[in-house]
Amino acid sequence: MEKWRIKQSPVVKDEFDDSVEYKQCIYDFINKMKHKHDLSAFYRNIKTLEIIPIDKFKLPIQSASAGYNIDFNTILYEEGRLNIDIMHELFHVATTKELDDRFISGFYQITDNNKTIGIGLNEGYTALMDERYFIDYDPNKLENSKNVYSIEKYICILLEGLIGEEEMEDYYMDANLHDLVVEISEYSDRRSAHYFIQLVDKYYKERETKKHPNALTICRTYSKIIYFIAECYLTKAKMLYNNRTISREDYETYVDYVKWLLDQNLHYHKIFRSRKMSKDFDGLNKTVENKIKK
Ligand SMILES: [Zn+2]
């Protein structure tokens, strides 16, 4: 493993000597994260990292105020918002690795048939990490973070409940979507776990990147995601109960949680419910209800 100490390394000093502001952000990121995770990728990437302030209207995605280009190893941020947005982008820098002449970043990966997967989960988890470790980095961050990938973040929190916080952080920092999918498959099957990742991508693309997002597509995709997670929780509860890891009481708590998830889902969709949607819900509810009964 690469050993790197801030004081002794010329890297940060040389690359960032023209901008004290950026250097401080990078120090702050390292100081907070170095005790928890391996930062080899981060140290490698910051050697050539560029951080450029720009006018907000030139950003590629309208709602975003900053972005990291993995191919050019460049962060663009809206002038005046550095401390609000920089840590999110530095997480992208810390999780970006080269793999067969392509770049992967956190849960964002290249599939065997050369397609990309995991952008939704990756943005949600990046926002979650930023919130977990750097929510106090700017006085306006708390308010701002409520609007940053809120649903993707929520999906990641639910997934952490299934997989474990430490494990999820490790998979993310190692840019290891593969093992995450394998672990999710323990409570489902490989194809469904893969499809779940694609659903989060679909949700993200519809909600975050389109000028006129389709509300029905968003609702339907969200529902499928929640039902998948609910089924996984139920399967996990059954596994734990059957091998006597948890008591009957704990099992009932799991089931109550699953029911709560489904209720929340219905609540979320109240505004958008149409007859077609009701049909979807009925079908999905029955599937999960039957599983609860078994
Ligand atoms: Zn991002």
Q: Encode pLDDT of 64-84 as tens digits.
A: 789 999 989 999 999 889 999
Residue 23 has what pLDDT?
87
Measured in Å, how far apart are the chain's first and last C-alpha atoms? 49
CA–centroid distance, 284 to ligand 1, in Å, is 31
CA–centroid distance, 104 to ligand 1, in Å, is 13
Phi and psi at 246, nearest 5°, equal -125, 155
Phi and psi at 107, nearest 5°, equal -90, 0
With a CB cutoff of 8 Å and minimum separation 6, the contacts of 154 are 124
The list of the chain residues with pLDDT below 50 reads 1-18, 271, 275
CA–centroid distance, 202 to ligand 1, in Å, is 16
At 104-156, the pLDDT tens digits run: 999 999 888 889 999 999 999 999 999 999 999 999 999 988 888 999 999 99
Element (H, E) at 275: helix 275-293
Q: Which two tokens stand for residue 57?
A: 């209207």
Residue 167 has what pLDDT?
97
User: Do the Cβ atoms of 106 and 126 come closer than 8 Å?
Assistant: yes
Task: Give the number of other CB atoms < 10 A from CB of residue 111.
Answer: 12
CA–centroid distance, 89 to ligand 1, in Å, is 6
C-alpha span between 72 and 168 (Å, rounded): 27
Query: CA angle, 283 as apex, 280 and 289 as ends, to 5°?
Result: 130
Per DSSP bridges, beta strands 102-105 and 66-69 are unpaired
C-alpha span between 287 and 201 (Å, rounded): 24
CA–centroid distance, 165 to ligand 1, in Å, is 20
CA–centroid distance, 237 to ligand 1, in Å, is 33
Task: Give the number of other CB atoms < 10 A from CB of residue 243.
Answer: 8
Q: Is the dihedral of CA 174, 175, 178, 183 positive or negative?
A: positive
CA–centroid distance, 4 to ligand 1, in Å, is 26
CA–centroid distance, 277 to ligand 1, in Å, is 31
CA–centroid distance, 11 to ligand 1, in Å, is 25
pTM equals: 0.86
CA–centroid distance, 158 to ligand 1, in Å, is 19
Task: Give the number of other CB atoms < 10 A from CB of residue 257.
Answer: 16
CA–centroid distance, 199 to ligand 1, in Å, is 18
CA–centroid distance, 238 to ligand 1, in Å, is 36
CA–centroid distance, 147 to ligand 1, in Å, is 13
CA–centroid distance, 290 to ligand 1, in Å, is 38
Residue 61 has what pLDDT?
60
CA–centroid distance, 125 to ligand 1, in Å, is 9
User: Do the Cβ atoms of 282 and 221 come closer than 8 Å?
Assistant: no
Distances (CA, A) of 183 to 45, 167, 240: 29, 10, 15
Strand partners, 74: 50, 69
Residue 193 has what pLDDT?
97
C-alpha span between 28 and 268 (Å, rounded): 37
CA–centroid distance, 68 to ligand 1, in Å, is 7
CA–centroid distance, 116 to ligand 1, in Å, is 15
Place of tokens 């990291």: 68
Strand partners, 54: 78
